[in-house]
Structure 1
Amino acid sequence: MKRYVDNAATWLSVANIVVVLVFLIFPIAVAVTMSFDAREYLGRFPPPEYSLRWYKHFFSDDYYLTGLATSLRLALITTIVSTTAGVSAAITLDRYAGPGKQALESLFLSPLIVPAVVIGFALLLFFANIGVFDGFTRLLGGHIIITFPYTVRTTLAGLVGIRKTLTEAAMSLGATERRAFWDITFPLARTGIVAGAVFAFAFSMDDVAVSLFLTSPDTYTLPVAMVSMMRTNFDLTIAAAAVLLMIFTFALILVLDRTIGLDRLIGRGVFRS
């Protein structure tokens, strides 16, 4: 009887995995397939004919290209600023053992639990009150706020297990505190730092809720442009744009792997004492 129960549990687990994989992959497969649809309208799946018309339309549409350029520039600056600030905050929290440490950490991570719509609206009012009306500046401030907690959290995870005696030993041998950080702490925490940077870039490229409140008529991101086109002139150019975003992410990972190496860039795991 026990054997039958074990077999049933195994098959149930396999079926659950298959269902989850189908649920995750099928929508992506549909979007990729429909982006090659030759029809001028959104019809039934699968399409009877295929073409590159929607990709040609994307690269000939200044509205989408402006949004893509803004998204890339915004994501790059956001990643640099958010990672720098997040690593500094995480190291401070890791070394600080006084009162209020948990409150400070909760404050740094609070954007994770505050609804993005609330953050976007609050920032819109804040920037209006201080006289900041430049769309890119407002978007940059909003994206730094929503990505900062990820860099803090992942860096803290990377710092777990790194013994303080390693840094102290380096400093006792003549290294400055800055040199000890770059030679000892950073290599061991590199996995968490790079993971936070990747999260920051991905969330900045993908954000809609906060960006909708902070855009201006001349400065908007690609996701905002896609949402706007869905409301005004819905066509399968949106599917082509989504596929191009996926291709860009895959190409970025491939280039990093071929030029630097993901093992070298990210590291081989979190250090444990």
Structure 2
Amino acid sequence: MSRSPGTRSPGTRSPGTLDRLSFEGLLHLLAILAMVLLLAPTLIVLVVSFTDGLSLRFPPPGYSLRWYGELLEAWQLHYALKNSLTVAVLATALAVGLGVLAALAVARSPRLSARLLDSFFLSPLILPALAFGLSSLMFFSLLGWPVSVATLVLGHTVVCVPYVVRNTVAALTQLQPSLLEGSASLGASRLYTFRRITLPLIRPGILSGGFLAFMASFDNIPVSLFLRDAATDMLPIRMWQDLEGRLDVTIAALSGILIVATIGGIAVMERVTGLSRRLV
């Protein structure tokens, strides 16, 4: 039986299908390469942290928990860790308070001023971190404020606010206005409505923003370089200095603990707030 010129045999694929499959295959390949580039350094650090050698070498000559034991005696790292946790907790608390208030002001407002404020609160994510750290130092110098833990907390707060604003605004935009209107029609005050309806519904967004703000503060180097005093040693800077000066293997062990702690924190936040869905 003869076929018409425009028909294809059942086993052949159209050019459009082949192009789509090729494009999807390329995307999958790029995704795999991106995962390798992201995960390989982390896995290498974890493996090296168990070395029994005296230097950072991959693969390790042997495996031991020696350097995790050395962390117990590393008092400089303990002091730096305490400072980093203190600054991160204080900066996160301030960022959550300011970020939630800012989000409530701009989330549903149609005014141009609200859009401008939204862009203003997100600007620390756009500015180069080193430039922001230097400008903050110059600003505090003009005010006559010496660098201290207070200036460090204020600088970190500015960096952390955008994370809280963005996640809280996203939660507020998903809030149904009919719930607030129903509460008002029943005679509830705005404060009561916020406490009993708005806050419980946006709590996952606030927690997600607070977690991201804490991580941004704890891991921050550029702002800490400019705004800390000589007595305030921060953990990321101490780790950087130890690696730059003597390639201390203890830093690999500390990095392993931080990696595990971060993964654990992400898992908890994913369970509680659905963190990955809020970052899309």
Structure 1 length normalisation: TM-score? 0.87
Q: Which residue does 1:184 correspond to in 2?
A: 197
RMSD: 2.4
How far, CA to CA, are the matches of 2:253 and 2:275 in structure 1? 34
Q: 1:181 and 1:135, CA in 2 relative to 1: closer, same or farther beyond 3 A?
A: same
Per-residue deviation, 1:266 = 5.5
Q: Which residue does 2:253 correspond to in 1?
A: 240
| Residue ranges of structure 2 left out of the alignment (5+ in a row) | 1-12
Aligned with 2:71 (options 39, 46, 58): 58
Q: Give the number of the structure whose alpha-carbon radius of gyration is greater.
A: 2
Counterpart residue identity of residue 231, structure 1: E
How far, CA to CA, are the matches of 2:163 and 2:24 in structure 1? 36
Please tell me whether the aligned partners of residues 147 and 227 of structure 2 are also in contact (alpha carbons under 8 angstroms).
no
Q: Which residue does 2:181 correspond to in 1?
A: 168
Per-residue deviation, 1:221 = 1.6
How far, CA to CA, are the matches of 1:268 and 1:21 in structure 2? 16
Alignment of 1:1-273 (within 5 A): 1-2=13-14, 4-43=18-57, 45-253=58-266, 256=268, 262-263=271-272, 265=273
Q: Which residue does 2:4 correspond to in 1?
A: none
Please tell me whether the aligned partners of residues 55 and 247 of structure 2 are also in contact (alpha carbons under 8 angstroms).
no
Counterpart residue identity of residue 175, structure 2: I
Per-residue deviation, 1:69 = 0.9
Please tell me whether the aligned partners of residues 163 and 209 of structure 2 are also in contact (alpha carbons under 8 angstroms).
yes
Please tell me whether the aligned partners of residues 191 and 268 of structure 1 are also in contact (alpha carbons under 8 angstroms).
no
Deviation readout 1:203-230 (Å, 9 max, x if unpaired): 0111111111112221122101111212
How far, CA to CA, are the matches of 2:131 and 2:108 in structure 1? 32
Q: Secondary structure at the match of 2:107?
A: helix
| Residue ranges of structure 1 left out of the alignment (5+ in a row) | none
Q: Secondary structure at the match of 1:100?
A: helix
Q: 1:55 and 1:133, CA in 2 relative to 1: closer, same or farther beyond 3 A?
A: farther
Structure 2 length normalisation: TM-score? 0.85
Deviation readout 1:235-273 (Å, 9 max, x if unpaired): 22221221111222234456x57xxx934x559978xxx
Q: Which runs of 4+ in 1 moved over 6 A?
A: 267-270
Aligned sequence identity (%): 33
How far, CA to CA, are the matches of 2:108 and 2:55 in structure 1? 59
Deviation readout 1:46-105 (Å, 9 max, x if unpaired): 112012222222231111111111111211121111011101111011254445222222
